[in-house]
A and B are shown apart, each in its own frame.
Chain A
Amino acid sequence: MNGGSCNGCDIELIASLTPRYDAEQLGVRLEGSPRHADILCVTGPITHNAVNAIKTVYGQVCGPKAVVAIGSCPATTNVFIDSRTLDGPLNLHLPVDVFVPGCPPRPDAIIQGVAKAAEILAERAAKNVPVDPVLMPLVGPPCNGACACSAATNKKTTEVQS
């Protein structure tokens, strides 16, 4: 998902799927539809125009889900800091699980970040943490709010929904 990126990170993201790096050896596949995705990769410093689109796409990914911020831009807005067209960094809008720094990061760093996000995703699935409060009536009751992680995730997601 491009949030106003210069396209540098997007090219590195594609490079991580090429024969030289081959993310599929870990079972990672690029999915076009957010409904099929587990991990949302966001690039760019998050412009005003991109905020609503990113929130919509994040809402379309079905839980459990994870967000990876690719590059320095979504982490800190990088060289575009204090620009009047920006609404970043990304963690103002979405609960980011993994930051992959770099301008742009190397493809192997991106693959490592995605693998780390997959581990977080596995933990989250094992704990049955509801990520999307809208879907809670459908997927059954959450882990009764006893564990701190579920409360934290719910709080973050409420921010996203508002």
Chain B
Amino acid sequence: MNLITALARFLIFPGLLFAIPAAWFFLWVERKSVALMQGRIGPPFMQPLFDFIKLLGKSTPPRSGIGGLLMKLWPLIAVAAAASAVGLLPVLPSSGGFEGDLILLLALLELPSMCIIAAGFSSRSIFGEIGSAREAALSVSYNVVFLLAIVSIAASQHTFRLEALAQLPASPMHWLGLIAILVCLPAKLHINPFSLPNAEQEIYSGPMTEYAGPELAMWELAHGLEWVAATGLVATLAAPHLTVWWVAAVVFIAISFAVVLLLSVVAAATARLAIDTSVRFYWQCTLIFAVLAISSAIFMRYRS
């Protein structure tokens, strides 16, 4: 991948120019579909954009010292990581990529969650600390399944290169891994039934409790970009291999949208689970499938 393609992917498609409006659109789709499921009308179409602009115009509480600097830094790191993760997705055919970019993508997808944990602890608010502890416990649980699922897909296809993974024909292992990733996404995106880290009206907003104004706007943007990156990962793994670039882009957007709708419907239909139930769900119920997937992937690899 040369510099110009890399910059084009980061800045134009599927990077910032596409991802930021898509982030606002997905946040709106989530709120609107939850509202429709509850028999409400829901927010206006431009609401996430209005919220973002409004938050940029608000003041922030005075912060001093290293703690204050870190609190200002965490949302920016989260936005940068989520935006780069979107930029790495191989949406267009023959868009480049390099050996091992899947590992970089996974690290970048994990970074916002790390930032949330660190932000909660550096805010020194009791609600932030509880939220961060929950996020850490949840992250340890779902990441085992998430990583095992992705490694099983990669191992069954003999590559850690995203573009090669997206181009190879789908195997049964592929679909099993995709289902495991889908099960992990509600926890990764902090939506119901795994919305404990930012459980509103229970621990206020968890790690975000002390954030206000432009910093909160950055967190909202990071959350939206996480939506784009996470659903985009599913879309690139699920999409059939297409050579026409605009068909590939349309299929990518359509599958991402379908995943957002699916997750929103799940979020609207479920209630928040307690932390012990959530952790047990991942360690007892889904881990077994992830282990099955990776062991059969390794078995198939030795047989072939």
Contact = CB atoms under 8 A, between A and B. Distances in A.
Q: Which of A22, A24, A63 has the most CB of B within 10 A?
A: A24
A62 B42 contact: no
Interface in B205-256: 205, 208-213, 216
A148 interface: no
Interface in B32-69: 35, 38-44, 47, 50-51, 54, 57-62
B289 interface: no
Contacts of A89: none
A36 B220 CA distance: 12
A62 B59 contact: yes
Given A19-B40, A62-B58, A63-B58, A35 B211 contact: yes
Interface string A16-47: 00010010111100111101101000000000
Contacts of B171: none
Interface stretch (A5-13, A80-88, A100-108, A134-142): A134-142
Contacts of B190: none
Interface string A138-153: 1100000000000000
Contacts of A32: 200-202, 204-205, 209
A30 to B, nearest CB: 8
A35 B209 contact: yes
A31 B127 CA distance: 14
A113 interface: no
Contacts of A137: 62
B161 interface: no
Contacts of A24: 31, 35, 40-43
A33 B41 contact: no
A25 B54 contact: no
A36 B43 CA distance: 18
Contacts of A53: none
Decide if the interface of chain B is mainly helix, strand, loop or mixed: loop
B129 to A, nearest CB: 14
A38 B54 CA distance: 10
B213 to A, nearest CB: 6
Nearest to A32: B204
Contact of B40 (A25, A38, A63, A132): A25
A25 B42 contact: yes
Contact of B41 (A22, A60, A64, A132): A22
Contacts of B57: 64, 125
Nearest to A138: B62
Contacts of B39: 19
Nearest to B200: A32
Nearest to A60: B61
B58 A64 contact: yes
A26 B57 CA distance: 19
Given A24-B35, A32-B201, A32-B204, A138 B42 contact: no
B205 A33 contact: yes
Given A19-B39, A22-B40, A25-B40, A62 B205 contact: no
Given A27-B50, A62-B60, A62-B61, A35 B210 contact: yes
B59 A138 contact: yes
A75 to B, nearest CB: 27
Given A22-B41, A25-B44, A135-B59, A62 B204 contact: no
Contacts of B44: 25-27
Q: Sorted from nearest, which 10 A-B pairs have the closest CB atoms?
A: A32-B204, A25-B41, A35-B212, A19-B39, A62-B212, A33-B204, A22-B40, A139-B59, A33-B209, A27-B47
Interface of A: 19, 22, 24-27, 30-33, 35-36, 38, 60, 62-64, 125, 130, 132, 134-135, 137-139
Interface of B: 31, 35, 38-44, 47, 50-51, 54, 57-62, 127, 200-202, 204-205, 208-213, 216
24 contacts: A19-B38, A19-B39, A19-B40, A22-B35, A24-B41, A25-B40, A25-B42, A27-B44, A27-B47, A27-B51, A32-B200, A32-B202, A33-B205, A35-B209, A35-B216, A36-B205, A36-B211, A36-B216, A62-B58, A64-B57, A64-B59, A125-B57, A135-B60, A139-B59
